[in-house]
Chain A
Amino acid sequence: MSTPPIIRTGKTAVDPTDVVLELDEVVQTFHGKGGLKVHAVNGVSLKIARGETLGLVGESGSGKTTVGRAALRLYTPTSGRITFEGADVSRVKGRKLRRILRRRSSMVFQNPSTSLNGYMRLGEILREPLDVHRVGTPAERKRKVEEILDVIGLDAAYAQRYPHELSGGQRQRVGIARALMLDPSLIVADEPTASLDVSVQAQIVNLLEDIQAERGLAYLFITHDLALVRRISHRIAVMYLGRIVELGAAEDVFARPQHPYTASLASMELTPEHQIIPEGELPSPANPPPGCSFHQRCPIARPQCARERPELTEVADVVSGQPRSFACHFPGELTLALADERVVTVPPPLPVVPALAAR
Chain B
Amino acid sequence: MNNDHNQPPAEAGKAHMPSVVTEGDPWGSVPTVAGIEPQNAGEAIPRKAPGRLREILRKAWGNPSGRVGFVLLGLLVLAAVFAPLIAPHDPVVQTLAATNEAPVWLGGESGYLLGADSLGRDVLSRVLHGLRLSLLVGIVAATVSALLGLTLGILAGWYEDTLGKVLMRLADIQFAVPFVAVGIALTAALGPGLGPVLVILSVWGWTTYARTIANSVAQVKRADFVTAARTLGAGTGRIMVKHVAPSVLAPVVVLWSTSAGVLILAESGLSLLGLGVQAPGFSLGSMLSDGQVALRLSWWAVLFPGTALLLIVLAFNMIGDALRDAFNPSSSLAPKNPELV
Chain A interface residues toward B at CB < 8 A:
1, 3, 5-8, 69, 72, 74, 98, 102-103, 105-107, 109-111, 114-121, 128-129, 132-133, 153-158, 160-162, 164-165, 167, 169-170, 175, 178, 181-182, 188, 199-200, 202-203, 206-207, 210
Contacts and interface: CB of A to CB of B under 8 A. Distances in A.
Contacts of B223: 114
A118 B227 contact: no
A115 B29 contact: no
Contacts of B329: 118-119, 162, 164
Interface string B203-242: 0000000000000000000011101111111110010001
Contact of A102 (B40, B41, B42, B231): B231
Contacts of B228: 106-107, 109, 115, 175, 178
Interface stretch (B19-27, B72-80, B135-143, B187-195): B19-27
Contacts of A120: 242, 246
B2 interface: no
Contact of A109 (B46, B224, B235, B243): B224
Given A160-B47, A160-B49, A3 B31 contact: yes
A188 B230 CA distance: 13
Interface bin, chain B: 35 or more
Contacts of B49: 121, 160
B225 A129 contact: no
Interface residue SS majority, chain B: loop
Given A157-B41, A182-B232, A107 B227 contact: yes
Contact of B23 (A115, A161, A167, A206): A167
Interface of B: 20-23, 25-27, 29-31, 39-42, 45-49, 223-225, 227-235, 238, 242-243, 246-247, 327, 329-330, 341
Nearest to B43: A157
B232 A203 contact: no
B242 A157 contact: no
Contacts of B227: 69, 74, 107, 109, 115
A85 to B, nearest CB: 15
Contacts of A121: 49
Given A160-B45, A206-B27, 13 more contacts: A69-B227, A98-B233, A109-B224, A111-B224, A119-B246, A128-B232, A132-B234, A133-B233, A155-B42, A158-B45, A160-B46, A165-B341, A175-B228
